[in-house]
Homo-oligomer: A and B are copies of this chain.
Amino acid sequence: SSAKPSSNHKNIKAPCKRFVLYYHDILFNGTDAANATSAAAANATLLGNFSFGQLVVFDDPMTKDNHLLSPPVARAQGFYFYDMKSTYNAWFAYTLIFNSSEHRGTINIMGADMMMEKTRDLSVVGGTGDFFLTRGIATFTTDTLQGFYYFRLKMDIKLYECY
């Protein structure tokens, strides 16, 4: 059927709040505890060759530009796991934690990170503090991928419900 009454997007407005942040993930290699920001809680299974089932817990810095050593403006705490046998593909659930003079509160996000797509959208499903009950979209772009132990995502956070 060509009738798609729910997809005409007639009510979409501009975001009430928007910011772009960079997410830096340094996976623990067993010896770099001082620098690492994440670690594998479950190892990859034997299904395929793309880390299917590897589950990584993270506490990652979020910066305003794409420099790892820029001052973090938030933390991202949560997890991701790989979930395809034919390519790298991940699923995320996490909280952005803000605790500065600019913003105080949290934003909760979940969704699929289809790594082979140029951009992919996840759901902002809730928030607290300055982001009380917010909803919206977090658009991921891979900014860099350096082997198994460092990658950086650009996260374009668009909030459409603000209170």
Contact = CB atoms under 8 A, between A and B. Distances in A.
A77 interface: yes
Given A10-B163, A33-B47, A122 B128 contact: yes
Given A16-B5, A17-B6, A126 B124 contact: yes
A105 to B, nearest CB: 8
As for how many copies of this chain the complex holds, the number is: 3
Contacts of A21: none
A135 B137 contact: no
Q: Name, among A9, A91, A111, the residue most crowded by chain B CB atoms within 10 Å (CB to CB).
A: A111
A22 interface: no
Interface string A104-136: 011010111010000001111111111111111
Contacts of A89: 59, 77
A163 B11 contact: yes
A95 interface: yes
Contact of A160 (B36, B54, B111, B133): B133
A130 to B, nearest CB: 4
Interface stretch (A37-45, A64-72, A143-151): A37-45
Contact of A55 (B42, B48, B93): B42
A5 B55 contact: no
Given A45-B28, A128-B123, A77 B91 contact: yes
